Structure 1
């Protein structure tokens, strides 16, 4: 099967000349044939006229020598394959082989968060990450500090101790030990504590750091 020529491609070619020369194995779509008749185009495959008005042998020679520039036509199957490939990448799990994992409390040491603004005492540690699961979790601490942040992932926070403040979309949530906070993907937030607080968090997907701007 030759290359399909759509009405859109044919209309673009007709901007420069009413005589259109195509490759021998080109195939016009039904709408392209109708457009050729409507515009009075002369469609020539090599040196053979197939649609429109007649031209002289000399004119055929002239238009045959002109290069034809056209955009490729994306077929339905090609588009479907492209969409499936994109979805496969987007929906690809963070962890190819998730496994049950036990993290002992005595091994957990929250580290200073390097992305915190200067002078802000913010700690963070992932205890479960994309190496073992599709859902990550860990601990955050805020010592009289603030952390502006954009979440391009979903997050749930459980306050273990202290006073936790979350500012999101014009709302301010004051949470205390035992409270749970959910933050949807796409939220611009500010985490903070007027004193000291420790928070357990869970995020989806597990590779949340890959989506940080």
Structure 2
């Protein structure tokens, strides 16, 4: 039977003055446990701890409700403050991944400030990242950057989009038809399309997507 570790277990670990959580193949970490460990800077290590002859594993049996208690949050923030990590943590919470300025009711995004974030492809081993720089709060058009790194994966498009390939080459299949796009090419993807991206190298593109109006 697998052992379930949740936020309360992490909280107990912190109260015991420990900063390492040991797990194995039979351990299930709940999302709340992962969040709690990250918040408290608790290291998750796969494998058994090196124990002395008289020591025993004091990790308590799980009693999980999926929530992170206020005591845990306080303990985590206090520990981060004492280690001089709180300022960096708070700064990271407010980080957008890019720098922008309002201009005449519009917006300019500084290209050299953009930090790409991992994109979940749904395909094991496939690597991609993205960063949306014009979002819902800016207008009806959402735009950003998308990168594919030596990968092939499928994607369903809920909205229509225009894409401009900035770097590299990519084979793109739209509803069963494949074309090779090269640097500088622009292509349109209709709403509801089934798309397959296939990049033998690294490809970077800029996209603008248009959510479908309701009603």
Structure index of larger Rg: 1
TM-score between the two structures when normalised by the length of structure 2: 0.48
TM-score between the two structures when normalised by the length of structure 1: 0.48
